Amino acid sequence: MMNIDQNRLKMFAAQPVRLPTARELRREGRVFFVGGKLPVNETLETMFASFCTESTDLFYLSFGETTTVAGGLELARQIRKNFNVRLMARFDYPVAVEVAEHAYAAGVDILDIPSSATHAGDVTDSLRAAGSVFPQWSVASTLLLGVEPVDATTARIDRLLAEGIVPLATVGRVMKEETTAALRHLTAGWKAHRVPIKPFVPLIIATTPLVPVEQTGLLRGFIGRLEERRLLAAADLRRHLRVQVGEDSLDSAAL
Answer yes or no: is pLDDT of 248 > 50: no
Q: In sequence order, which ranges of 132-252 are alpha helices (DSSP H)?
A: 150-162, 176-192, 201-207, 218-252
Confidence of residue 179 (pLDDT cuts 50, 70, 90): confident
If phi > 0 it is left, if psi is from -120 to 50 it is alpha, else beta; for residue 88 that is: beta
Note the CATH number of domain 2-214. 3.20.20
What's the pTM?
Answer: 0.84
Confidence of residue 225 (pLDDT cuts 50, 70, 90): low
Q: Give mean pLDDT, residues 139-153.
A: 90
Residue-wise pLDDT for 199-224, tens only, equals: 999 999 999 999 988 655 544 554 45
The pLDDT of residue 117 is 64
What gap in Å lies between CA 180 and CA 207, rounded to an integer? Answer: 14
Q: Is 25 exposed, middle or buried (0-12, 13-18, 19+ CB in 10 A)?
A: middle
Residue-wise pLDDT for 19-75, tens only, equals: 888 999 999 889 999 999 999 999 999 998 888 777 889 999 999 888 889 999 999
Q: Rounded to 5 degrees, what are φ and ψ at 164?
A: 80, 20
Three-state secondary structure along 122-144? Answer: HHHHHHHHHHCCCCCCCEEEEEE
What gap in Å lies between CA 209 and CA 32, rounded to an integer? Answer: 19
Q: Give mean pLDDT, residues 151-178.
A: 89
Confidence of residue 99 (pLDDT cuts 50, 70, 90): very high
Task: Tell whether the torsion through CA atoms of 45, 140, 182 and 18 is positive or negative.
Answer: positive
CA triple 47-51-56, angle to 5 deg? 110
> 55, 83 in Cβ contact below 8 A?
no
Q: Give mean pLDDT, residues 86-99.
A: 93
How far is residue 249 CA from its own chain's centroid? 30
What gap in Å lies between CA 18 and CA 105, rounded to an integer? Answer: 29
What gap in Å lies between CA 22 and CA 105, rounded to an integer? Answer: 20
Domain ranges of the chain: 2-214, 216-255
Q: Rounded to 5 degrees, what are φ and ψ at 98?
A: -65, -35
